Structure 1
Amino acid sequence: MKIAVVEGDGIGKEVIPAAIDVLDALALPLEKVPVELGYGKWERTGYAITDDDLETLKECDCILFGAITTPSDPAYKSVLLTIRKELDMYANIRPIKPIHGIMGVTGRNDFNLVIVRENTEGMYSGIEEIHEDVAYTKRVITRKGSARIADYACKLAKSRQHRLEIVHKSNVLKSDRLFLDVCRETASSHHVEYHDTLVDSMAYNLIVHPNRYDVIVTTNLFGDILSDMAAALVGGLGLVPSANIGKEHAFFEPVHGSAPDIAGKGIANPIAAILSMKMMLEWYELTEQAKVVQDAIEYTMNKKMVTSDLGGKATTKEVGEAIADRVRQLIG
């Protein structure tokens, strides 16, 4: 196992070391390759990510990633979009599952869903024109991109409850008609039960009726927004992990940003980063080790060893160390 470790910017420099502490507690035979990317590097060198960085990432099996600060400067090249496109990691997977002992804003825990977001096109195509009085971003939806994300979502649904929800806005965006049609065709070929919902209706139903859904597939921007919103169901962005999956590479990151307002204060919640590392273990098919990490997280949180966003007093480092200690006890 060869893992590229990218702390990135802001709280990424705090939550990733906590996740690494937990990973190290498992005593697995792996090689960790530190890679500096992001705004801090851009300020110092003029490059947020270089060709050499990309080659290093490609040489690793997967990437454990913190967070990136993206400035408004048009000369800044998006690190995340670059990695996703260069490594062709087309599927963004965001599980929305309650953690034992923690309640979100709705006060319910009867849901377990996954948002599957197309990750390489849509509104994040990167095709833009910026002028003094007008700016354009081209929304790109292709048959190939729609088919492969639908195929991934259907295979995931077949491993769960055989239910797929296709989220779109085809009544207004004609490009979404292609996405919807391809998803329907793919679901039918997989013999997966499917329904489709307009994204604005989905935003409402996801909060009011989260238990109705199993696997949700949607386009890039809609998936980004809906998954961040759904974090409120589990208790906040500090608790939601994600994976970016391609044919050859995978990339694991917490869904939260770099949060520069709290960076360096030691109060960032590391749980999303640790759960992202757990998803990495599952991708490696290390299911027993992943279960140990999950058990250690729940044990530690039930002991109220949590950061201030969850009403606790523990620091980022203390939470990571407590979970790592529990991992060592469990595998002892």
Structure 2
Amino acid sequence: MFTVTLIPGDGIGPEVVEAAVRVVEATRVPIRWERFEAGTEVMNKYGTPLPDEVFNSVLKNRVALKGPITTPIGTGYSSPNVALRKRLNLFANVRPAKNLPGVKTRYEGVDLVVIRENSEDLYSGLEHIVVPGVVESLKIITERASLRIARFAFEYAVKHGRKKVTAVHKANIMKLSD
């Protein structure tokens, strides 16, 4: 039996996670769900949108299914999603996209994987008001994180038999960071 941390989240999260759980359970893989709440109601109740017990469960189980968690815009608390990424060192966002056999699509032969650095750049979440009406967001880029995501992408490509890695940047505008 496998134990999986289940974080339904809030907003549309519980509905989406419930559907995902049904799909997983249809595989008949023996799973015990360790359920934890997170989000706005949890913040109101405990003073944090993501209690330590959630992190401890994920660390113990080494796998989690998480639904969307609301992050108030402009006020309130910082993003629980960013907190999860930082505390669990989830630096690589891996998004495969591939055509499915028998499914007609606009483009044929799509088979790509987007790997995005998930802990720096604007995901650092560092911003401040310069003067009323002007906000500055800091785009943090370190050599360490850049090399780490590049290494991850190349290792992923080798492991999965991919033939090339393409780096996407905005160096024509961001001359030092990209």
TM over 0.5: yes
1:65 equivalenced with 2:27 (yes/no)? no
Contact 1:4 1:35 (8 Å CA) reproduced:
yes
Matches within 5 A, 1:123-134: 123-130=122-129, 132-134=132-134
In the other structure, the counterpart of 1:37 is 38
Bigger mean CA offset, 114-123 vs 58-67 = 58-67
Question: Quick one: which amino acid aligns to residue 22 of structure 2?
Answer: D
Contact 1:128 1:138 (8 Å CA) reproduced:
yes
Percent of aligned pairs with the same residue? 33
1:73/1:172 Cα in 2 relative to 1: closer, same or farther (>3 Å)? closer
Helix, strand or coil for the counterpart of 1:164? coil
In the other structure, the counterpart of 1:90 is 91
Question: Quick one: which amino acid aligns to residue 6 of structure 1?
Answer: I
Q: Larger % of helix: which?
A: 1
1:75/1:175 Cα in 2 relative to 1: closer, same or farther (>3 Å)? farther
Give the gaps of 5 or more residues in structure 2.
none
1:37/1:78 Cα in 2 relative to 1: closer, same or farther (>3 Å)? same
Matches within 5 A, 1:95-174: 95-104=96-105, 107-130=106-129, 132-158=132-158, 159-174=160-175
| Deviation of the 1:56 alpha carbon | 2.5
Helix, strand or coil for the counterpart of 1:166? coil
Contact 2:39 2:80 (8 Å CA) reproduced:
yes
Q: Distance in 2 between matches of 1:156 and 1:37?
A: 32
1:102/1:175 Cα in 2 relative to 1: closer, same or farther (>3 Å)? farther
Q: Distance in 1 between matches of 2:76 and 2:129?
A: 12
In the other structure, the counterpart of 1:175 is 176
Q: Distance in 2 between matches of 1:21 and 1:41?
A: 25
In the other structure, the counterpart of 2:15 is 14
Helix, strand or coil for the counterpart of 2:57? helix
Q: Map Cα deviations across residues 31-58 of structure 1 (whole Å, 9 max, x no partner).
A: 3211111234234444211233322222
Q: Map Cα deviations across residues 119-163 of structure 1 (whole Å, 9 max, x no partner).
A: 111111122213533222111111111111111111122222321
Helix, strand or coil for the counterpart of 2:123? coil
Helix, strand or coil for the counterpart of 1:124? helix
Question: Quick one: which amino acid aligns to residue 62 of structure 1?
Answer: V
Contact 1:141 1:175 (8 Å CA) reproduced:
no
> How high is the TM-score relative to the length of structure 2?
0.87
Helix, strand or coil for the counterpart of 2:4? strand
Helix, strand or coil for the counterpart of 2:114? strand
- Give the aligned CA root-mean-square deviation in angstroms: 2.0
Question: Quick one: which amino acid aligns to residue 92 of structure 1?
Answer: N
| Deviation of the 1:73 alpha carbon | 4.2
Helix, strand or coil for the counterpart of 1:130? strand
Q: Distance in 2 between matches of 1:157 and 1:54?
A: 30
Q: Map Cα deviations across residues 44-94 of structure 1 (whole Å, 9 max, x no partner).
A: 444211233322222221111111222214231201000000000111001
Q: Map Cα deviations across residues 214-256 of structure 1 (whole Å, 9 max, x no partner).
A: xxxxxxxxxxxxxxxxxxxxxxxxxxxxxxxxxxxxxxxxxxx
RCO greater where, 1 or 2, for CA within 8 Å and sep 6 or more?
A: 1
Contact 2:98 2:109 (8 Å CA) reproduced:
no
Contact 1:91 1:149 (8 Å CA) reproduced:
yes
Give the gaps of 5 or more residues in structure 1.
178-332
Helix, strand or coil for the counterpart of 1:136? strand
Q: Distance in 2 between matches of 1:72 and 1:9?
A: 15
